[in-house]
Chains A and B, each alone.
Chain A
Amino acid sequence: MDAVLEVADVSKSFWGIKALDRVRLSVQRGEVHAVTGENGAGKSTLMKIIAGLIPPDEGEVHFHGRGIAMIHQELLTFPDLTVAENVCMGQEPSRWLAGWLDKPAMRRQARELLARLGVAVDPSSRMGDLSIAEQQSVEIAKALAREADLIIMDEPTSALSDHEAELLFRIIGDLKQRGVTILYITHRMQEIFRLADAITVLRDGCHVATEAAGQMDEKRLIALMVGRALDTSVAKAPSRAGDVILEVRGLTRPGRFRDVSFVLRRGEILGLAGLMGAGRTDVAAAIYGLAPAASGTILVDGRAVRINSPADALSHGIAMVTEDRKQYGLVPEMSLKENVTLSSLARYGYGPFIRRRAEEAAADEQIRGFAVRTSGRDQPVKNLSGGNQQKVVIARALLADPRILILDEPTRGIDVGAKNEIYQLIARLAREGKAILLVSSEMNEILSLSDRVLVMRQGAAVAEVSPGESTPEEILAYAMPN
């Protein structure tokens, strides 16, 4: 046995809550080691400690390799620098005199590394112009440039389409061939069994099990994660669609989407499927007023409405859970309570004042209703785990009491248990008569929840399918550019 990484009895607390409790972990050189567990199980905290980003309260991390690199779930790149500058960041080759950048050498190095990964990206292009998948590849190239032999990937496929995820898996296979060790954090069963040599399960900050992937099956893995057997099927509501509540006609925003039309009825879930960059999020953002369309009509209850800002949308009963929690979801320094009530403050007040009791009661009710794992309503949301943060964002949208709810990747970066809770919630909301527009990259999610699925390709709505009569393959066929 040749352990490249050993974690010995590491503990860490935030705000009086134990995020990690004497966790042990041993990772063998050259293996793909999956780390999985529910919301707040402590996966991200453990990875940050291993990467040296935060210190443990107790315990030790022993690393016997050349270097550790971490690919964060929300990529930390320099969007205004070029790909080559990103790859070489911190160890730029120099010529002529110290500190003088050797730009040709940088481009060469970046091109070689990217070619090794099988990615065709121009080293001179601006990082921010690349797709998420391409940026991720560049981050991996950067890790290789630093000769990292342990790469931590935190939910790397959460922002990728199925096709892009395939490319990532191939890259991971290559890295393994070269003897690079991968610590792979994920909630997705298929990925675990497809990629992992060993699996470690965390639950409530404790180490539950580490086993060879061959000795594990899906049912038992889920049981280990949640501590009980779980039904993973989605309770699909029978379609009871009522009157048309939202209609979109000829919605266009040049360069993003064109001539998109559809209707949404009371109690109906309309799925919006497609690859990354097909314009799904842009359509949702246009309806919610985050980035209004250039032309086209939005009708609520049959009347044309002008929506130039989210405030307009909310006043017409439209709420949205955005895809990007960090940028468009949370106010990190604010407490859980203040985040939850931000869209519905007017309801907890007299005149311009806030009624403290009413607001606190509303926040406590949401914490209970969503089973948010927290030390209390005054905890800053930045200290919550990703899944719990997502619950906060959803709770905020629901407190605004919308009739139309737009959900953009509502289960991105969330574990199986919380995912299931959110599925049940979406189905219940539809039963209660809310009209739901669901944007998702996960085929299973969209097929099992939606009443109808609209497929987008390169900015246009190309097909509408009925989930009962369709397959992921059919949808993918519509979604793929010719």
Chain B
Amino acid sequence: MPATTKKPWPAQLGLALALVALMGALSLERPNFLTVANLVNLVRQISINGILAVGVTFVLLTGGVDLSLGSVVALTGVIAASFAHPGQATVLAPLAMGILAGACCGAANGLVVTRGRVAPFIVTLGTMTSARGLALLISHGRPVSNLGPAFARIGGGDFAGVPVPIVIFFLVALTAHVFLKNMRLGRRIYAVGGNENAARASGVHVGAVKTIAYVVSGSLAGLAGVVLASRITTGQPNAGIGYELDAIAAVVIGGTSLNGGVGGVGGAVLGALLIGVINNGLDLLNVSSYYQQVIKGLIIVGAVWLDRSKDRS
């Protein structure tokens, strides 16, 4: 039988349509929504959450979870900032140190999850607490300030007219997408999340694959920490509280299953965009920030609800 390859509709089509409809409605109500300046501003605002969402996608795809992201953002921001004082201020050293610190946190998470067989929720909850403590220790509980101008460009500069955080977010998302869809390791991440036993029986090194997923998540949290520290030109040990939940929300809205094996970067990006559009739109509509939180919560649950009912039919 010639394989009549009927490709299924892309899973995120509904979400993309919802996003377009929402943006259309907003632009009717507030003409200044659909301006280049506002849209660039919107994407810049979500870029940190977007980078975190892309990272945590890897972990969620293996069936795990990473709650340490927000604290890792603070820790790596503090570390990057302490390498970015004027005089020593190159861009490369703080960037490298921040990402490295994030990778170490991820490796620690991954190794305890796989070698120690401790549930990811518990392990990353512990890291969340410890990393926050480390950030406070290193900074002596005070924001690390007096940073060099070159460093500030990572979060505040432009590249060919586009804010650097947007460029970084775009490159991260693209690389991660290619990694997951076109590389062996990416395929194995899906296999491990889809059925860990079958993956192992097929010769996949399950422990290594999971650990790598946590390292990717931690490294990107490190990158996000550097971008944030640069943007606010401070290493803020109290930064990033609750960021992990925003990131996981974006990924889940994008159709990635918390059970693993289903989803991808495209959905995470769309999910982060949707959250950004809602925040931005509600701001433009002068909705109180208390209402904004209520609405955001309802949308997270509603999006996943719709996604599941589509599966059932």
* Chain A residues at the B interface, C-beta cutoff of 8 Å: 15-16, 288, 290, 309-311, 313-314, 320, 322, 327-334, 338, 342-343, 345-346, 349, 352-354, 356, 364, 367-368, 374-378, 396, 400
Given known contacts A327-B198, A331-B198, is B3 in contact with A354 (CB within 8 Å)? no
B200 near A: Cβ within 8 Å? yes
Q: How far is the CB of B69 from chain A (nearest CB, A)?
A: 25
> Is the interface on chain B under 10, 10 to 19, 20 to 34, or 35 or more residues?
20 to 34
- Are B5's CB and A352's CB within 8 A? no
Q: How far is the CB of B194 from chain A (nearest CB, A)?
A: 4
Interface centre among B1, B3, B5, B204 (most CB of A within 10 A): B3
- Are A354's CB and B198's CB within 8 A? no
Chain B residues 189-215 with CB under 8 Å of chain A are 190-191, 194-195, 197-205
A residues less than 8 Å from B203 (CB atoms)? 309-311, 313-314, 342-343, 400
Nearest-CB residue, chain B, relative to A349: B184
- Are A375's CB and B4's CB within 8 A? yes
> In the docked arrangement, what's the CA distance between A288 and B203, Å?
10
- Are A354's CB and B182's CB within 8 A? yes
A residues less than 8 Å from B190 (CB atoms)? 331, 333-334, 338
Q: Which 7 A-B pairs have the closest CB atoms?
A: A331-B194, A376-B3, A376-B5, A314-B203, A342-B202, A311-B203, A331-B195
> In the docked arrangement, what's the CA distance between A329 and B191, Å?
11
Of the residues B4, B6, B182, B198, contact of A329 by C-beta under 8 Å: B198
Complex A-B: 7 CB contacts under 8 Å: A310-B203, A330-B198, A338-B187, A346-B184, A352-B183, A356-B182, A374-B3
- Are A342's CB and B204's CB within 8 A? yes
B87 near A: Cβ within 8 Å? no
Of the residues B3, B187, B201, contact of A364 by C-beta under 8 Å: B3
> In the docked arrangement, what's the CA distance between A362 and B190, Å?
20
Of the residues A331, A334, A338, A352, contact of B185 by C-beta under 8 Å: A352
Of the residues A310, A322, A352, A375, contact of B184 by C-beta under 8 Å: A352
B262 near A: Cβ within 8 Å? yes
- Are A343's CB and B202's CB within 8 A? yes
B116 near A: Cβ within 8 Å? no
- Are A320's CB and B198's CB within 8 A? no
Interface centre among B195, B198, B204, B261 (most CB of A within 10 A): B198
> In the docked arrangement, what's the CA distance between A137 and B6, Å?
43
- Are A377's CB and B5's CB within 8 A? yes
Interface centre among A288, A314, A342, A375 (most CB of B within 10 A): A342
> In the docked arrangement, what's the CA distance between A288 and B184, Å?
22
Question: Chain B 218-246, CB within 8 Å of chain A: the 1/0 string?
Answer: 00000000000000000000000000000
